[in-house]
Structure 1
């Protein structure tokens, strides 16, 4: 058994798989919105309410893990725990109450795990369309990660050319722009653009886009939600979304539809619940900013990320035991 836990600013996610002679299969998959980073932008602290919500989810995760007789676990925390001054206190509490040892990873580690989790798409001939580079972005609750990747199709390898972590996510952006008027929506777009232009200046990605050499991959709840709306799914289906290729004009048309509906008070946002717009619109603003700077014509939607990258590394470690000393993110959890 292999278990990966991703404690983000907005969500707590757990994935457990088994590996045997018949291959790899998913045993358990858990995802709970906890909003751990709610209020962090203003106070620099994890609030009591946010920590209590998150503890409930982590108790559920621990119970699911404890039911397995033999497993390997790696649990990580990202932007909220990187930024909050009381994060060490919270993570100590988590370990004492649940036994879960959660490591705070760096932005680069976060990017690398997201890229590894999407490696199947990087080397899929249909999805890659013979392009030599990939621009991958992951819109989180507290930050947005961007990865610029070189593809080696012969060896089926990828190289991370560069990455950046923008301290802007759906929660922090929503708290920064409280009124969320139409004018503020476009202010959000401009704000995010100002945060990523330096990365473009250094790597000249736009020039590669003009030469049609760039694959575009979106990893986030924002992108998967928009894809589900485009497909008019009555209920979200991961099987239909993960690996879906869309024209970016379809995504931007859906965003226009949401904006018109929202600000003209016409509550018919396809399949999206009105309450979800609270964080969907900041995500849309981040997507628009990214696509404004890097206008790729199509996008691969990925319903995967850090957890999948952790599992992939664990499986690779199992298959390559000689390299075990090189893999320092495999932790064993022993129930007391």
Structure 2
């Protein structure tokens, strides 16, 4: 959740809240959201609703993504959310999710590059956006949503992902799936001409950035806009693969919530870096939430001018 007021340059954040609830846990096998996962998520949404009341929110947009798109009982979940929290969920399509993520982080794109590959590694899916960096703003040229996120991949691979052989096989399989997007847009050709930048928004890339900086606790001001070289990503990934589960839990920038998911995120990211070996990746600690705020502010400005 992000609560903000419009400001001269964008917006000023008033309150923020986030919690990993693993809404899609077990979804790949069952096709439905489990009662336990819904309970966890509704508890977090109840906290959001309370904060919205305290902050006197006058306009809101509340979106649900991949887990709800795929679940056969998404309607039942949305009804429970409304009945128990008063929040009205909007289930958005993958393309809308990708566009909101791009809108939230596009200010970090470097104008000297005519093309950008933007990605968002989520819990249930990974969105890739191929963007033309035009003078009048970024123009989306292609979007793909792979049904592979940190939760779904961790569930599918299990402990195999934590062995060198299993990790290597997983990375190769993901790269094969990404190759379809490459074939469609010829990204590598632009990359070899030095025309492409890569921008990543997700818990995976922000966590890797924090580990690279050896932060004792996560600090957004040091992460948002940071450039990570591929060698930096490889070094942190190697370190993570060598850690035990308890060591990952104990690390202040990983913790219990991400300890069993961070390796899955590394595998997805490594597959992208292997297919598109750009010199560096820019890290965005912003995404869909910021994209929603900015889109609502633009809508409000249009309404105001038309009155």
Q: Give the TM bin, normalised by the shorter chain.
A: over 0.9
Structure 1 residues 66-122: Cα deviation after superposition (integer angstroms, max 9, x where no partner): 223351100000000000101110101101111111111000000100110012112
1:166 aligned to 2:146?
A: yes
What's the CA shift for 1:299? 0.9
Per-residue Cα deviation, 1:180-210 (whole angstroms, up to 9, x for no partner)? 3222212221221121111101101011111
More helix by share: 2
Change (3 A) 1:86 1:270: closer
After TM superposition, the structure 1 = structure 2 runs for residues 312-323 of structure 1, keeping only pairs within 5 Å, are: 312-321=294-303
Distance change (3 Å), C-alpha of 1:318 and 1:249: same
Residue 149 in 1 paired to residue 131 in 2?
yes
1:284 aligned residue: 266
Alignment pair present for 1:206 and 2:188: yes
The 1:308/1:20 distance shift into structure 2, 3 A limit, reads closer
Q: Identify the structure with the greater strand proportion.
A: 1
Q: SS of the residue aligned with 2:159?
A: coil
Taking structure 1 as the reference length, the TM-score comes to 0.85
- After TM superposition, list the pairs within 5 Å mapping 1:74-85 onto structure 2: 74-85=61-72
CA distance in 1, matches of 2:122, 2:94: 12
Deviations 1:123-165 (A, max 9, x none): xxxxx2611011001000000000000011x33x111000100
Offset at residue 54 of structure 1 (A): 0.6
Note if 1:73 corresponds to 2:60: yes
Question: Could you tell me whether the CA contact under 8 Å between 1:142 and 1:172 is conserved in 2?
Answer: yes
**Partner deviation per Cα, 1:193-244 (whole Å, 9 max, x = no partner):** 1211111011010111111101100111010000000011101000110111
SS at 1:191 equivalent: helix
Q: CA deviation at 1:251?
A: 1.0
Which runs of structure 2 are paired with 1:238-317 in the superposition (5 Å)? 238-262=220-244, 272-273=253-254, 275=256, 276-317=258-299
Aligned to 1:178: 158
Distance change in 2, residues 1:274/1:62 (3 Å): closer
For 1:306 and 1:99, how far apart are their aligned partners in 2? 22
- CA drift of 1:281 comes to 0.2
Q: CA deviation at 1:319?
A: 2.2
Q: Distance in 2 between matches of 1:53 and 1:206?
A: 42
The answer (yes or no) to whether the contact 1:229–1:270 under 8 Å persists in 2 is: no
Answering whether residue 119 of structure 2 is matched by residue 132 of structure 1, we say no
Partner of 1:94: 81
Counting matched residue pairs gives: 304
The equivalences for 1:49-64 within 5 A come to 49-64=36-51
Deviations 1:240-264 (A, max 9, x none): 101111212111111112223349x
Q: Deviations over 1:271-300 (max 9, x none)?
A: 555743310000000000011111111111
In structure 1, how many angstroms separate the alpha carbons of the residues matched to 2:165 and 2:75?
38
Question: Structure 1 regions of 5+ residues with no counterpart?
Answer: 1-13, 123-127, 326-336
Gaps of 5+ in 2: none
Deviation at residue 266 of structure 1 after TM alignment: 7.8
Structure 1 residue 35 corresponds to structure 2 residue 15: no
Change (3 A) 1:322 1:18: closer
Distance 2:212 2:10 in 1: 33
